[in-house]
Amino acid sequence: MRKTVTSIIIAIILIASAAPAVAASVAGFLAGTGKGSYYLYDYQQLLDSYALKLIGNPNGLYEHFSSKFPVAFLHRDGVLVDYKDTINHYAAMVLAGRKFDFAGFATSPASQKIGPPTNLYRVHILQGRPTSQRINNNSHSLISAASTPTVPDAPAATPLDVPVASGRNSEADGIPIVAASRVTLERAVEWAAGKNAHPRFIEIAALYWEFGRRTGISPEVLYAQSALETGYGHFTGQVPPNFNNWAGIKTANATGDEPKDHDQFATPEDGVRAHFNHMAAYVGLHPIGELHDRFFVVKRLPWAGTIRSVEELSGKWAPAATYHQSIVRFLSEMGH
């Protein structure tokens, strides 16, 4: 039964890709688990993923989709059209020798519509692997969620464990930087207090978890990195506290490691945002708000956007090959 369903899904995807009018009207696909959870997939990403599967280089998105039960097609107007009803209409058009008009069918009173489910997740490719993100269930957000790589104020994205023949497994290759938080804010604050952190470092913890929620970057990873860079907020190195530079970010034209070689930010929040933006250049995510000059320096580097794990920060964020070790230890102390 699953092979039959999968073959029908493939046929519909290929039919849509072969007909521009159809492809232009399909925004995405909705699938379910049969246990109350539903997943929304972008049409183009799913089609690309199927193509990668055919050439033996799967990215896991199609595999995740085909393991679920098809529920509906998402029309560009935000209408969810019942999957079985669409298949039946398509078959009737084929038997009658007529052209399949998905756009006309989806918006007609004759098609069977379904309401947006409540327990809904968007599944998309982020950092080369399938990632899920909880989304709102109104029609406008369905369209936005199906096609927008990053929703600034959406809940944190969560990498999915999907068996793929090739590609990276973040747990095997190291601690992922882009991941849902595995440490609560309360636990991080407790850990920092236990380290005799400066009050300013404890106070900014909430900002790290807020920007982690907005970007999909693991807040505990960056908070642990900040602990390393600032000596738990005591700023025992070359960066003065009033620089609000929580990550040792250099200026664009830095030539050494003096205070003047480090960037300054107006407020603690600006400094935390700059930390996340700087990491965004490393991992390939969109930054938030005003950008600092060093961000563009990183973006020009050949490896920009390719960093996946904490371990890969060594030799790049800092020259030391052991730079990551303290961050890993701090995360372990937090219970990551």
Where residue 240 sits, what CATH number does that domain have? 1.10.530.10
- Say if residue 135 is in the same domain as residue 195: no
Report percent pLDDT > 70 for the chain.
81
pLDDT-based confidence at 166, cuts 50/70/90?
A: very low
The token duo for 51 is 């193509």
Secondary structure letter of residue 156 according to DSSP: P
Residue 32 lies in a domain: yes
Phi, psi of 252 (to 5 degrees): -65, -35
CA-closest candidate to residue 177, choices 293, 40, 321, 278: 278
216 in any annotated domain: yes
Domain boundary among 105, 132, 164: 164
Query: Residue 326 has what pLDDT?
Result: 97
pLDDT at 3: 43
Domain assignment present for 160? yes
Q: Quick one: residue 180, left, alpha or beta (phi over 0 = left, psi -120 to 50 = alpha)? A: beta
Among the residue ranges 44-53, 193-202, 224-233, the one predicted with the least confidence is 44-53
130, 64 Cβ separation under 8 angstroms? yes
Domain count, the chain: 2
Check whether residue 246 and residue 299 sit in a common domain: yes
Q: Verify that 108 and 237 share a domain, yes or no.
A: no
pLDDT at 262 over 90: yes
Please tell me whether residues 132 and 220 are part of one structural domain: no
The yes-or-no verdict on residue 153 having pLDDT over 50 is no
In a domain, 171, yes or no: no
Q: Which domain holds residue 252?
A: 185-334
Element (H, E) at 113: strand 113-114
Q: pLDDT-derived band of residue 146, with 50, 70 and 90 as boundaries?
A: low
**Are 113 and 213 members of one domain?**
no
CA distance 53 to 62: 8
- Which two structure tokens, joined as six digits, stand for 36? 């109350």
Q: Do residues 263 and 228 touch, judged by C-beta distance below 8 A?
A: no
Same domain, 190 and 323: yes
- Neighbour-count burial of 319, counting CB atoms closer than 10 A to its CB (0-12 exposed, 13-18 middle, 19+ buried): exposed
Q: What is the mean pLDDT of residues 11-29?
A: 60
Q: What is the CA radius of gyration of the chain?
A: 23
What is the residue type of 290? E
Per-chain mean pLDDT for the chain: 82
Query: What is the C-alpha separation between 12 and 3, in angstroms, rounded?
Result: 14
Same domain, 215 and 156: no
In this prediction, residue 70 has a pLDDT band, given cuts at 50, 70 and 90, of confident
Find the mean pLDDT for residues 298-303: 93
Note whether residue 157 is domain-resident.
Answer: yes
User: Which helix (DSSP H) or strand (DSSP E) does residue 63 occupy?
Assistant: helix 61-66
Q: Cβ–Cβ contacts within 10 Å for residue 185, how many?
A: 17
Report which secondary-structure segment, H or E, holds 44: helix 43-54
Phi, psi of 44 (to 5 degrees): -70, -40
> Can you tell me the mean pLDDT for 58-73?
83
